Amino acid sequence: AFWGGGLQVSFDAEAGLTTVSFITAAGPAGASTVTVRSLASSQIATFQIRFISEPSGPPGLSLSPSEGPSSGNTLVTCHLTNFKRVADPASLRVSVAGVELSNVANVQSTSEGTFFEILTPFSAQGGPRPVQAWDATRSSLSASSSFAYADVNQARVEYANPSQGDSARPTLVRVGLSNPGQTLTSASDIAVSVSPPSLSAAVASIVSSSPALIDLELRVGAHPSAIAESRAFEVTVQLKGGGGLKRASFAFEALPTGAPVITFFSPSRYFSDGGVPFTIEVDNFPVSAGVGDVSVSFGPASVNATSVARDLPSEGAFAPATITATVPPNPTIGAAEVSPVLTYR
């Protein structure tokens, strides 16, 4: 074998095979023809190689699933995009919360994308943790994302419907708490508080209970005086015997008497790309409002309603209604709850 201008040639006499290795020059994206010429025999061989464009934007990292228990050992499939092909799987590095992992597995990398798997480590607390992936041979090439840990020692509100009510009368709120860690059958085992304390709240019934989920009905009382504008409250549910950790809170909005009230909406969670149908049930909705008069806000994004159906009986100029819309895309991914805000023109 010999070297010359980045060229390496080797010959296997037994196989009668000549191997030529070379370093390509820079070239435009697309197919390019390579010609190999033997100076001794004037023989020529040609073949094509394909140049691909350099990534023009920052690398991206997506995780599936993107949340799991703080006890760890969640198998996560990771997808790198806009990331140069990882030539050596052993050079791929991954860290969670700044700690490098040793369990990166099943690395599959092409010029279009790279897939690999990790097992999440233990976390002493819940909350989001940064995840970073990089190629050890090119440390400047890295991508980051976030994994949300659910504290296995803490309860969490999975749903609370409705999230608002007429301030002049009590409201029944259906609440689901995940990870209670125990089965409860008596309302006396559950304490409910409201902040600020101008509203009362108590357990009306326990629909079902298991160590994984408790399904409750809470009765939120009427406001003691008439209010002219909506007021926000925080309702906290604490399970007795939980050492103070088995507690969770949700937001409740008291509305002026006669204001439209959202009594139900679904789904309560969706992917950031949106596009799924969304249903809202409303009390005290103006009979005169048509589909062209209604919009629904999801955080910073607003969409027009796709249908408005009246539910009889009506009460004069107001009636219950079912409104549908399509969930808009939202570039922000995280654990923050997004509730619909209903407006009509």
> Where residue 38 falls among pLDDT bands split at 50, 70, 90?
confident
Of 109, 90, 104, the closest CA to residue 132 belongs to: 104
Mean pLDDT of 77-92: 89
Fold of 156-255: Immunoglobulin-like (2.60.40)
Region of poorest pLDDT, from 97-101, 162-166, 251-255, 299-303: 299-303
Please give the C-alpha separations between residue 281 and each of 276, 284, 293, 328, 340, in angstroms, as whole numbers: 17, 10, 16, 19, 11
Choice between 219 and 288, residue whose per-residue pLDDT is larger = 219
Mean pLDDT of 134-158: 87
Of 91, 89, 94, the closest CA to residue 143 belongs to: 94
Beta bridge partner(s), residue 82: none
Mean pLDDT of 87-100: 93
Fold of 261-344: Immunoglobulin-like (2.60.40)
State the burial class of residue 344 (Cβ atoms within 10 Å of its Cβ: 0-12, 13-18, 19+): middle
Name the superfamily (CATH) of residues 60-150.
Immunoglobulins (2.60.40.10)
Contact by Cβ (8 Å): 177, 213 = yes
Mean pLDDT of 33-61: 79
> Where residue 74 falls among pLDDT bands split at 50, 70, 90?
very high
> Where residue 334 falls among pLDDT bands split at 50, 70, 90?
low
Structural tokens at position 137: 């041979």
> Where residue 1 falls among pLDDT bands split at 50, 70, 90?
very low
Q: Please, what is the average pLDDT of the chain?
A: 84
Q: How many CB atoms lie within 10 A of CB 284?
A: 18
Give per-residue pLDDT as tens, 212-241: 899 999 999 998 887 878 888 999 999 886
The whole-number pLDDT of residue 30 equals: 77
Please give the C-alpha separations between residue 187 and each of 194, 209, 239, in angstroms, as whole numbers: 17, 11, 10
pLDDT of 3 above 70: no
Q: Do domains 60-150 and 261-344 have the same CATH topology?
A: yes
Mean pLDDT of 116-143: 90
> Where residue 4 falls among pLDDT bands split at 50, 70, 90?
very low
> Residue 327: CA atoms inside 13 Å, Cβ hemisphere, count?
21
The whole-number pLDDT of residue 2 equals: 39
> Where residue 339 falls among pLDDT bands split at 50, 70, 90?
low
DSSP string covering 182-212, please? S----GGGEEEEEESTTS-EEEEEEEEE-SS
Of 250, 238, 259, 265, the closest CA to residue 169 belongs to: 259
pLDDT of 306 above 80: yes
The whole-number pLDDT of residue 336 equals: 45
The whole-number pLDDT of residue 335 equals: 44
The whole-number pLDDT of residue 316 equals: 64
Choice between 315 and 88, residue whose per-residue pLDDT is larger = 88
> Where residue 333 falls among pLDDT bands split at 50, 70, 90?
low
Domain residue ranges in the chain: 2-51, 60-150, 156-255, 261-344
The whole-number pLDDT of residue 242 equals: 55
State the burial class of residue 169 (Cβ atoms within 10 Å of its Cβ: 0-12, 13-18, 19+): exposed
Mean pLDDT of 126-140: 88
Q: Is the pTM of this model over 0.75?
A: no
